Structure formats: structure tokens, C-alpha cells
Amino acid sequence: MNILHIDCSPRPESQSRQLSAAIVKKLLEVAPEASISRRDFAAAPLPHASSDYATALSSPATLAAPPKGALELSEALIQEVEAADVIVIGTPMNNLTVPSVFKAWIDQILRAGRTFMSTPAGKVGMLRDRPVFIGIASGGVFTGDRANQPDFLTPYLSVVLGSIGLKTQQFLSVQATAFLDRDQATLARDKALAAIDLTVIREVACL
């Protein structure tokens, strides 16, 4: 089993990194022989869409005959997703949604004719479904009775990932991190991890 582990926070000891690492640790308890591929968008940020890439995606004709090299990065990132049996993402909530370094990855892996088909009913995913675990850290509170800000991250990611075929998703969050000390943050992380459903991993590990 191959786990693609993605982190987005620029802070080495961020709550989202600690949460994603804890998720991976949980998965390894079920599948200890699993290999791990890493994408750290702080250590190696992806470029935002280039002119050639935007041109390639601008029409069916340019997609069929794109500028030379325009799709190389996109293809490499898509192949990483295809090679993964499980994806783990650690991301902060930045200004109510995903950070720009994560959006740069999304813009490369959503590609018409490669990861989704456009139909009159909307996008239809072309990739095989696999479990995706998304660990979110937020300085504020975006769910429950104490919510004091809207959440544009989880519904956006749910639709984006689902549109390319990744529909088995679990969102785990640590909220109000701006107001938690170390011990409180650990308790919040443990509480988030307690909700994880490892049934899907056991199924993948048995394939």
C-alpha cells in the first residue's frame, strides 16, 4: 500500500502537520508495510499555473495539441495520485479556505480529459476512488455551536476531490488552535483522531 502524504503549512511544527502525521501513524498501525510518498508544499512549493498551462487548458484543440512541456508538471502530480492507495492531506484553514500553495496543486490535478470529463450534468471523475484523509487546523471555530466563522474549505475540497473521482473522504479537524496551549492542542488532536474510520484502510490493505 502506498500513502501519498501532503502538507501545506509553512510552519514546521504546525497543528495541521502534527495532525496529518498522526493520521499517517494511525494508518501504519493497520498497514505497517505501507510506503509513504511525500509532498511538502512549504519545503517545495509548486508554481502557480503558467501561461503555457493555461493555454493548454483553454480549449479542446489546445488540450489535444498543448505547448511543448505545458502539461509535464500536471502529469507528474496526477501520476502521484494514481500511484497512491491512500492520500493524507494536512492543511491549515487560511482566510476561510485552502492556502494558495494547496490551490496550486489542485489546479494542476484537475484537468479536463485526464482526471475528469465535462458533461451536461457537470464534472465526472476519471480516477479510481481511494480513501482521502484531510486533517485541518483552524485558528478559529468553523463547526458546532461555537462556530464564529464560515467554512469554505471542507465543502470546496469535497466537491473538488469528488469531481476527479476521489469520493471516499474523511475530514478531521483541530479548531481554535490560536487559543490552545500545548496540552489542550494534544487533547484536541486526540479527539479528532478518535473519529477516524480505519475500515477503508483495512479494505485497501487486503487488496
Residue 14 in marked binding region: yes
Closest CA to 22 of 172, 161, 167: 172
Q: What's the rounded Cα separation, in Å, for the pair 176 and 167? A: 28
Residue 18 in marked binding region: no
Q: What's the rounded Cα separation, in Å, for the pair 30 and 201? A: 7
Closest CA to 157 of 93, 111, 113: 93
Residue 158 in marked binding region: no
Closest CA to 81 of 40, 132, 23, 46: 132
Q: What's the rounded Cα separation, in Å, for the pair 13 and 18? A: 7
Q: Which residues contact 143 (CB under 8 A, 6 or more apart)?
A: 151, 173, 175
Residue 16 in marked binding region: yes
SS3 6: strand
- Known binding-site residues for FMN equal 9, 14-16
The binding site comprises 9, 14-16
